[in-house]
Amino acid sequence: MELIISIFLWALIPLIVGVMLGLDRIVTARMQGRKGPSVLQSIRDLLKLLGKKGSMVNRSQVAFVYLALALQAIAAFILIIGSDILTAFLLSGAGSFMMVVAALSVRSPYSHLGAHRELVQIMATEPVVMLVVLSMGYASGSFISSNLEGALVLTLPLAVIAMVPTLLIRLEKSPFDIATAHSEIVSGPYVELSGRTLGISKLAHWYELVVMFGIFLLFFSMSDPILDVVVKVIVLVTVVFAIALIDNSTARLTRWRMLRFSLTYCLGAVMLNLVILYLINGGVF
């Protein structure tokens, strides 16, 4: 029964992420004094792109984009059925890397620039999320997400905070909208994609967001299923608001500042949390 629910949820992912991004666009518009689009706008954009034939620069780019989608979708599936978080995270990382390879397989210098920046973003996020996943495993003795302890946020509060910049980077939001910086390098890795292929790459990105947000929401698991859903929805909406606020009130950083920020403060926070947890478990406190 649970498996059927998970598969159903997995099939609904594009709808859920689309509504979340639509909500983000409305909140952003309201913060800027505008009315903003419909909450379904991101889904409409996606459907439009998937229905457009577009042009193809070369076959390998298209192949890599489809591979990225497959990897991200499998990673999201593994996370949703309550299996190994570490596998889901590593597969999703491989999927992000496929997008980099896709961007490097064409000759546009903007695409290459975007690919290099995307790599720096991967360098900034992967170690942090890796350590977060490892600390989850340490705190509850298992990497299987259905075996995790409830309310991990209470034991690993600093890890939760350290994940927020990672979510910003993955959502391509200011101050970390470095790879797709629209006013600098147009849209970076996506520059040579058009029509359906662009739609597929967007879908891959949406599944990637699910993996990141999924790991984040695992911190807020509750034993009571109804309470669990309520808490997760509240956390998600709060995070969307917070991210829109940060996006609208900060300017873009350089990529090295981003790297330094996440590898010192974010990584440092997770390590500090692990050390404290280790000392508590060892009976020092």
Partner 1 sequence: MATRNDELSPWILHFDTGSCNGCDIEIWSLLTPRYDIERFGMINKGNPKHADILLVTGPVTKKCATRLKTLYDMMPDPKLVVACGDCASTGAPFVGCYNVCGGVDSVIPVDVYVPGCACRPEVLIDGVVMALQKWNEKRTMEEVKA
Based on CB atoms, which residue is closest to partner 1, 159 or 171?
171
Q: Which amino acid is present at 268?
A: G
Looking at the chain, the number of H-run helices and the number of E-run strands are 12, 0
| CA pair distance 156, 149, nearest whole angstrom | 11
Based on CB atoms, which residue is closest to partner 1, 35 or 59?
35
| CA pair distance 242, 283, nearest whole angstrom | 36
Q: Is 38 in the site for partner 1 (CB under 8 A)?
A: yes
Among 5, 7, 48, 280, binds partner 1 (CB under 8 A): 48
- Contact set for partner 1, span 163-182 (CB under 8 A): 182
Closest approach of partner 1 to the CB of residue 192, in Å? 7
Q: Which residues, other chains included, contact 120 with Cβ-Cβ below 8 Å and sequence gap of 6+?
A: 178, 179, 255, 256, 258, 259
Based on CB atoms, which residue is closest to partner 1, 33 or 282?
33
Q: Is 223 in the site for partner 1 (CB under 8 A)?
A: no
Closest approach of partner 1 to the CB of residue 44, in Å? 5
Three-point CA angle 243, 245, 249, nearest 5°: 120
Q: Is 132 exposed, middle or buried (0-12, 13-18, 19+ CB in 10 A)?
A: buried
Closest approach of partner 1 to the CB of residue 228, in Å? 34
Closest approach of partner 1 to the CB of residue 274, in Å? 42
**Do residues 190 and 180 touch, judged by C-beta distance below 8 A?**
yes
Based on CB atoms, which residue is closest to partner 1, 126 or 192?
192
Closest approach of partner 1 to the CB of residue 183, in Å? 8
Neighbours of 263 (CB within 10 A): 14
Among 1, 2, 33, 283, binds partner 1 (CB under 8 A): 33
- Contact set for partner 1, span 7-26 (CB under 8 A): 25
Closest approach of partner 1 to the CB of residue 49, in Å? 8
Q: Which of 72, 22, 23 is nearest to 200 (CA)?
A: 72
- Contact set for partner 1, span 52-71 (CB under 8 A): 52-55
**φ and ψ at 219, to 5 degrees?**
-65, -20
Based on CB atoms, which residue is closest to partner 1, 54 or 150?
54
Q: Name the site residues for partner 1 (rule: CB under 8 A).
A: 25, 29, 32-38, 41, 44-45, 47-48, 51-55, 182-183, 186-187, 190-195, 198
